[in-house]
Amino acid sequence: MANPLFQTKPMEVLQAESGSEHGLKRTLGKYNLIALGIGAVIGAGIFVLTGQAAAQYAGPAVTISFVVSALACAFAGLCYAEFAAMIPIAGSAYTYAYATMGRIVAWIIGWALVLEYLFSGATVAVGWSGYVVNFLGSFGIHIPEKLSSAPIIFDANNQLVFTGALINLPAILIVFIITALLYRGIKESANFNNLVVIVKLSVIALFILFGWQYIHAENWTPFIPENNGTFGHFGTSGIFRASAVIFFAYIGFDAVSTAAQEAKNPQKDMPWGILGSLMICTIVYILVALVMTGIAPYSELNTAAPIAVAIDKAGAGLAWLSPFIKLGAIAGLSSVILVMLMGQTRVFYSMANDGLFFSPFSKVHEKFKTPYVATLITGGIAMIACGFLPISILGELVSIGTLLAFMIVCLGILILRYKHPEYVRPFKTPLFPVVPILGIICCGGVMLFLNTIIFIIAGSWLLIGLVIYYFYGRKNAKY
């Protein structure tokens, strides 16, 4: 008898779930999926973390960091596309792991995805708060720092210190609004996201086109600042350290795969959504990073609103663009929160459907056809996280969860190709087995550059998850 820890979920069961009429509603087309990916990817990475990574780790070479991260994502993205077309149901990497590596690996990756999706929603809410406070301040409306920032942060020595702040109220407010929207329905959420994607891409295009003429080449010199004697702070090691931090900026493309069970034609459209959004966003990131570090010295970009700082640095010539950028950032970050929280609720839904997580999370609203219990609880936890934790801690927690998910997806493709070559694959990862192997190596390499304390927190998180599995999932698993 097979060890239940490594019991896999049968492919025929997965395919039956994908065609069930009693599950989630299939309403999303190819362009909805690409927009979901862009909606999730272009957010905190470009509006917040780019400036911080440039100021603390890579300088203008943060553009190279984006290329490094994009390569790791591209290898993983090709593997995601094969899985998403072959197993078009909610759950993303969790579902793929269950089909290939068994129950315990699926549980671990599902629990890691909580770090990715739930905490990324909270992370972006903190960035949203920074832009809202900055925007309102330009009109003379000042929100006290005690009510708009986290009570704890990392200091320069990576130690946790208290800031004297009480809570981040604007961040909590936006998560509350997005949770209400997700409760109402996926189609309404997708329409909102489509509109916001158009707005933020238009604003970013204005920044690139008009900001280019305010670039001062001396701000790019040296393009790779000399290492200051500490590993990961500038120089070559700084580029890779920055790539680990801004890896968070790319997590949106895999969130597309969580919507597979709500796609009209997942076999054809999921690869488009995953790879199309990744390619578009990489180009945009590189251009924005070049313009931002060209307008303002990288040392001045360590702020929650670095693009706004760059525009202010350009002076009167770009002053007209400032309110548009801030509004675009606010709208753009809103869509990221939406897609991330949506992704998390679908992971919870899939885990609960399999009996590995608490059964109320699998309940679908009779009218709206959304996993409403999972949505409400996910929103509540995200509100607590964004209200009390800073973006630095949240962002790196998201990165480690994401990188682990990517590595397992790549490994899953390797296993399934050899174990079940007979499965129908509407999309095949090219250059097999080179691409999945490179995906594992690249993602593992990037992970090594994360802060040590993040590994400690992630390890503690994993232990909590294993306890839940032992006392609940082990006894209630359906497969």
Reading the chain (479 residues) residue by residue, the pLDDT tens digits are 457 777 888 877 876 766 555 556 667 778 888 887 887 777 766 777 788 889 999 999 999 999 988 888 889 888 988 887 887 776 677 888 888 888 988 898 888 888 778 888 888 888 888 888 888 888 888 899 899 888 877 665 656 677 788 899 999 999 999 999 888 876 666 777 778 888 888 888 999 999 999 999 999 999 999 988 888 889 999 998 888 878 777 776 676 776 766 777 777 787 888 888 888 888 998 999 999 999 999 999 987 678 888 988 888 888 888 888 888 888 878 878 887 888 888 888 889 989 999 999 999 888 877 889 999 999 999 999 888 877 767 777 877 888 888 898 899 899 989 988 888 888 899 999 999 999 999 888 888 888 788 888 889 989 999 999 999 988 988 87
Say what the pLDDT of residue 65 is. 92
- Backbone CA torsion sign across 91, 263, 119, 472: negative
Tokens 């760059």, residue? Answer: 310
Say what the pLDDT of residue 343 is. 82
Q: Are 264 and 347 in contact (CB under 8 A)?
A: no
**Residues 248-296 pLDDT 10s:** 777 766 767 767 667 777 777 878 888 888 888 889 989 999 999 999 9
Say what the pLDDT of residue 150 is. 81
Class of residue 188 by CB neighbours under 10 A (exposed 0-12, middle 13-18, buried 19+): middle
Say what the pLDDT of residue 159 is. 64
Q: What DSSP state is assigned to residue 146?
A: G
**Which CATH number is 33-476 given?**
1.20.1740.10
Alpha-carbon separation of residue 466 from 9, 305, 469 (angstroms): 19, 38, 5
Angle formed by the axes of helices 93-100 and 11-18, to 10°?
A: 150
User: For residue 222, is the peptide bond before it cis, meaning its omega torsion is within 30 degrees of 0?
Assistant: yes
Q: Are 477 and 355 in contact (CB under 8 A)?
A: yes
Say what the pLDDT of residue 426 is. 85
Give strand pairing partners of 476: none
Say what the pLDDT of residue 154 is. 63
Say what the pLDDT of residue 24 is. 62
Say what the pLDDT of residue 376 is. 94
Say what the pLDDT of residue 228 is. 83
Q: Are 199 and 39 in contact (CB under 8 A)?
A: no
How is the chain split into domains, by residue range? 33-476
Q: Are 351 and 384 in contact (CB under 8 A)?
A: no
Q: Is this model's pTM higher than 0.75 or not?
A: yes
Q: Are 267 and 30 in contact (CB under 8 A)?
A: no
Q: What DSSP state is assigned to residue 90?
A: T
Q: What's the 3-state SS for 261-320?
A: HHECCHHHHHHHHHHHHHHHHHHHHHHHHHHHHHHCCHHHCCCCCHHHHHHHHHHHHHHH
Say what the pLDDT of residue 1 is. 43
d(CA 289, CA 123): 20
